């Protein structure tokens, strides 16, 4: 192709457009990854996926207890594959007044000869309720190491925000216990070797 003088400025023009487009490509790639924390934040604000907060809410004992309403909270536990634990709530469900602080114990027993580290992940349905479930203390905030044959009682203390929408009379809090032993072993050996 012969280079005519008119085409010269156009070349520079090209590189500017290309730079901008490549910039957009990089921004969109980063945006793809940014969507992960954005999604988490969005879920936290709207209760979109029913995860509860993984940090403790501040206990608010002076709170007005709404005696006029009773909400049923159901508990359910599951244990993921490959983890030889028994994991049960002490009660299947309790009835609470919004604002009232309650403690529910969960029993866990490692019945085999292996030391296991596990963590329980909560899921609330309907997801909207997760916004009003405030846990002041929960075993699910941390990883739970349990030596072979060990038993433990794990408490969960919570209250329901009195702003809980009136149409929610009942919700389910489900815990799935996941085996994190391998991940923990990797991190501890890594920290030891440092």
Partner 1 sequence: MSTIVTDTHSAHDAHDHHDHHPKGIKRWLFTTNHKDIGTMYLWFSLIMFFVGGSMALMIRAELFQPGMQIVDPHFFNQMTTMHGVIMVFGAVMPAFVGLANWMIPMMIGAPDMALPRMNNWSFWILPFAFLIMLSSFFMPGGAPAFGWTFYAPLSTTYSTDSTALFVFSMHIMGMSSIMGAINVIVTIMNMRAPGMSYMKMPLFVWTWFITAFLLIAVMPVLAGVVTMVLTDKYFGTAFFDAAGGGDPVLFQHLFWFFGHPEVYIMILPSFGIVSAIIPAFARKPLFGYASMVYATAAIAGLSFLVWAHHMFTTGMPTFASLFFMYMTMLIAVPTGVKVFNWVSTMWRGAMTFETPMLFSLAFVVLFTIGGFSGIMLAITPVDYQYHDTYFVVAHFHYVLVSGAVFSIMAAAYYWLPKWSGVMYDTFLSKLHFWCSLISVNILFFPMHFVGLAGMPRRIPDYALQFADINAIVSVGGFLFGFSQLIFLAVCIKCALKKGEPAPAKPWEGAEGLEWTVPSPAPYHTFDVPPVIK
Partner 2 sequence: MNVRLTRLLLALSALSVSATASAEQSLQLNLTRGVTNISNKVYDLHMLVFYICLAIGVIVFGAMFWSILRHRKSRGVKPATFHDNVKVEIAWTIIPFLILFAMAVPATITLIKMDDTSDSDISVLVTGSQWRWHYSYLEYDVEYQSIMATPREQIYGRLPQTENYLLEVDRPLVIPTGKKVRFLITSDDVIHSWWVPEFAVKKDANPGYINEAWTRVDEPGIYRGQCAELCGRDHAFMPVVVIAKEPADFEAWIRGEEERLRTAREEEQRLLSMQMSMDELMELGQQTYMAQCAACHQPNGQGIPGVFPGLAGVGVSVGDQQAHIDVVVNGARGTAMQAYRNTLSMRELAAVITYERNAWGNNTGDMVQAADIHHFIQGNQ
List of residues contacting partner 1 (CB under 8 A): 1-2, 10, 13-14, 17-18, 21-22, 24-26, 28-29, 31-33, 35-36, 39, 43, 46-49, 51, 54, 80, 121, 125-128, 176, 178-180, 183, 186
Which pair of tokens denotes residue 68? Answer: 């006029």
- Alpha-carbon gap, residue 121 to 177, rounded angstroms: 6
Q: Which of 75, 76, 125, 68 is nearest to 98 (CA)?
A: 68
Which pair of tokens denotes residue 49? Answer: 């996926």
Q: Which is nearer to partner 2, 43 or 101 (CB)?
A: 43
Identify any residues that bridge with 85 across adjacent strands, giving them in sequence order.
Answer: 110
In the chain, alpha helices (H): 7-46, 181-193
57 binds, among partner 2, partner 1, none (CB under 5 to 8 A by kind): none
CA 69 centroid distance within chain? 28
167 binds, among partner 2, partner 1, none (CB under 5 to 8 A by kind): partner 2
Q: Does 145 bind partner 2 (CB under 8 A)?
A: no
Q: Which is nearer to partner 1, 33 or 61 (CB)?
A: 33
Q: Which is nearer to partner 2, 14 or 72 (CB)?
A: 72
CB 108 within 8 A of CB 155: no
Give contact residues for partner 2 (rule: CB under 8 A): 49-51, 74, 76, 78-84, 92-93, 110-113, 121, 123-126, 148-149, 167-170, 172, 174, 176, 178-179, 182
């Amino acid at each position: 192709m012969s280079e005519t003088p008119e085409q010269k400025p156009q070349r520079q023009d090209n590189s500017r457009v290309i730079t901008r487009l490549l910039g957009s490509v990089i921004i969109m790639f980063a945006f793809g990854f940014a969507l992960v924390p954005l999604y988490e934040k969005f879920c936290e604000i709207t209760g979109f996926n029913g995860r509860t907060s993984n940090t403790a809410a501040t206990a608010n004992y002076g709170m007005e207890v709404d005696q006029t309403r009773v909400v049923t909270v159901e508990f359910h536990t599951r244990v993921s594959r490959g983890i030889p634990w028994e994991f049960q709530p002490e009660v299947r469900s309790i009835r609470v007044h919004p604002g009232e602080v309650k403690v529910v114990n969960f029993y866990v027993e490692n019945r085999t000869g292996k030391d296991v580290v596990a963590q329980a992940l909560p899921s609330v349905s309907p997801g909207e309720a997760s916004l009003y479930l405030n846990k002041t203390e929960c075993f699910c905030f941390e990883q739970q190491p349990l030596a072979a044959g060990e038993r433990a009682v794990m408490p969960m203390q919570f209250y329901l925000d009195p702003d809980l929408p009136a149409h929610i009379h009942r919700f389910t809090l489900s815990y799935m216990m996941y085996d994190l032993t391998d991940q923990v072993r990797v991190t501890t050996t890594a920290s030891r070797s440092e």
